[in-house]
Structure 1
Amino acid sequence: MANAHLDYHLNLLNHLRTILVALGEAEQVPEESHALFLERFDELLTQLPQDPLESQYLGQDLMCQVIQRYPQIAHLVPRDLLWFFGGDCLHFMPDDELDLYQALEERRYEAEQNDEPFDWNQEKQLLSMSNDDSKH
């Protein structure tokens, strides 16, 4: 897994963590269970850079829990994280979105095979625009 790709997702996780912390500070959730959840979230942030493959299951579990435990912020969970962790997280994505991410992943793989630079966000925007054009 390319470092830039991993760093991008770590940044998204850190952003999601700030949202979760703000949710706790706004006293929107039970404090004790929320604190334990944040501890597990921090565990993921520590483990992911060290062992990305081993961290996949914890990431899947936590992303699903964010959506189930905190439905008020489910719409703020970056879709890229759902795709990144895969597994049960994919149940929260519609088919057309899964198709978009599959095409994006194929482009990323092709770029890596050809030692070409790959900008995840730029490619995602290009794919989204081409999908929007085909719907019209």
Structure 2
Amino acid sequence: MSSPYLDHHLALLAHLRSILVALGEAEQVPEESHALFLERFDELLTLLPQEPEQSLYLGQDLMCQVIHRYPQIAHLVPRDLLWFFGGDCLHFMPDEEITLFQALDERRYEAEQNDEPFDWEREKQFLAIPQESAKH
């Protein structure tokens, strides 16, 4: 049950996992608990493509744990993942960012309803341009 939207987020999770592995290799975290955390992260990577809806709670839990357990890399957590998993993850997003992602989801839903292609990254850049222009 793969989709470009799901594939995008799986790629972001894989990237985040590589950051977590590097953090462990740099010996910046307790090894045993870190290894157990990576096992749960791998479980999410396995389950998400098979059961996307059922995996959302695990994803929320893991994203929140990344921010709490590894504050030194919290800024590297892709914002898309916080939005994708939702729930408690939204507490780590400012209102302006939530508004941007809501608009993105509305555009994605509209494109799906019309059987049109939707490029998440391109649309995100397009929606962010007016906000950035207004700040300057």
Q: TM-score range by the shorter chain?
A: over 0.9
String of CA shifts for 1:44-92, please: whole Å, max 9, x gaps.
Answer: 0000000000000000000000000000000000000000000000000
Aligned to 1:125: 125
Correspondences of 1:13-92 after superposition (within 5 Å): 13-92=13-92
Separation of aligned partners in 2, 1:42 and 1:53: 17
CA distance in 1, matches of 2:12, 2:60: 14
Say which SS state the counterpart of residue 43 (structure 1) adopts: helix
Q: List per-residue Cα deviations over 1:13-69 (Å, max 9, x = no partner).
A: 000000000000000000000000000000000000000000000000000000000
CA distance in 2, matches of 1:110, 1:130: 21
> 1:2 offset after TM fit, Å?
6.2
Letter in structure 2 aligned against 1:81: L
Do 2:82 and 2:89's aligned partners in 1 also have CA atoms closer than 8 Å? yes
Unaligned runs of 5+ in 2: none
Distance in 1, Cα, partners of 2:88 & 2:27: 28
Q: For the aligned residues, what is the CA RMSD?
A: 1.1
Q: 1:133: how far off?
A: 2.7
- For 1:76 and 1:133, the matched residues in 2 are separated by 24
Instruction: Tell me, in whole angstroms, the C-alpha distance in 1 between the residues paired with 2:2 and 2:28.
Output: 37
CA distance in 1, matches of 2:55, 2:47: 6
Q: Which amino acid aligns with 2:102?
A: Q
Q: Which amino acid aligns with 2:78?
A: P
Deviation at 1:135, TM superposition (A): 4.1
Could you tell me the TM-score, scaled by structure 2's length? 0.97
Aligned length: 136
Give 1:8's aligned amino acid.
Answer: H
Unmatched tracts of structure 1, length 5 or more: none
- Output the amino acid matched with 1:64: C
Which residue number corresponds to residue 102 of structure 2? 102
- How far apart in 1 are the matches of 2:118 and 2:47? 25
For residue 109 of structure 1, what is the amino acid of its counterpart? Y
Q: Which amino acid aligns with 2:92?
A: F
